[in-house]
Structure 1
Amino acid sequence: MERFKVSGQELRDFYKENIVLGKVFTDIENDLRSTNQVVCRYIVNGLEINETEEARFATVPLEQIDTLEYLTENSRDLTSIVLKGWIDALPELIQSTENLAKRMRVQGLSGLLKPIHDLVQNCEFLIDSTMTVKEMMGDQFLVSSPVDWFKAEQASKNTVLQALRALENKDFVLLADVLEYDLNNVLQMWLDHLRVLEKSLNGEYTGSHIHSEQAGSHPVDRKRLAN
């Protein structure tokens, strides 16, 4: 992990106008993408901000910035960590989903609302994680990847939506079917997809070659911003 720091005055001199911090965030991230790096964390005026706070800080004008720091990591390293985590977790999630569906057919929704809620949250987290992986790998990856990510994403979203509607209508028979068949098929699809991607990143897959480097220049020079 690398750490970079730039003063507010350097940013104002670079941009020549009092833009909002969100523009700086975007330029830094675009610049880093060309070298397979991603921002892990921003530190504004000595205050460490998390991902949920970025939108609020993005509206802050440069005139209020004393210092901006950011920590970066290689996108492939982060991708590998995310992939391994889900590849390890998905078999257990698949089994839990099957067990939950069986219990639901016996006892309905009684006593199962929290496990169902936790399962839906895990599935939404999986979708968010795969979207993040896709962003880190870039458009060229989508073209060359042997995995149909769009199909998997759409199937995931549709299945989660079906499960939520069945839960809302208290239709435990339909919900059990959605969990055991549709959702487990989607989870197995992602497990297969992520295994292929992990092999591709490790150079073990002999099919389509993944290209992660992207050409192009960006308005912010990371070396100029980094002290």
Structure 2
Amino acid sequence: MPERPPGKAPIKVVLADDEWLVRSGFKLLLDVEDDIEVVGEATTGAEAVEQVRTTRPDVVLMDIRMPKMDGIEATGEIARTVGLNQVRVLILTTYETDAYVFAALEAGASGFLLKDAGPSELLHAIRVIAAGEALIAPRITRRLIAQFTAARTTVRTNEDRLAVLTQREREVLALVGQGLSNDEIGTELLLSPATARTHVSRAMGKLGARDRAQLVVIAYQTGLVKP
């Protein structure tokens, strides 16, 4: 994704990880980017919430395993806080902590990235999240969501929860659940990207979804997309 146009405010980022070396490495990488600014650091989930309330960042790089309050709890706290609607949480995880990803998405995370991702992938992820695209690594995310949703019982039936959607919005939701972008949805359904984006926005509003990642969760929870 291209950098922000000249004159546009940089993407503000908070780093939340209890390992100093990890935070330092991320900060060194981000500090040299003209369109990204690190505005805060935290070693616990509680500190992360406080930093977010104070600095109002665009993106939080959130580790899952932290003392006092873990990354999932902190993500939920941020998502529930009035006035922090525009803050996007990017969960940092390892293969050992993948079981927590679905819970993090339910809590309000906008996506996740494996900790062993390369520098270019991290920078791309931050820019995508800040631009509102929300979901990172869709192939991996789809597999994880499918795996952990399969073991859960949906409280409401497909028809009950999706009754507010038009048939076209259901089709769009199913494709969002499969990880397709607006451009790809438009191609699949013979719609313009702008029209596809409108359908996505309407589905989000009707279902009370915080962002695109939440739509993916709902698509699996309701059985619209099968594991």
Shared fold, TM over 0.5: no
Output the TM-score relative to the length of structure 1.
0.26
Output the TM-score relative to the length of structure 2.
0.26
- Greater helix proportion: 1
Computing the radius of gyration from Cα coordinates, the structure with the larger value is 1
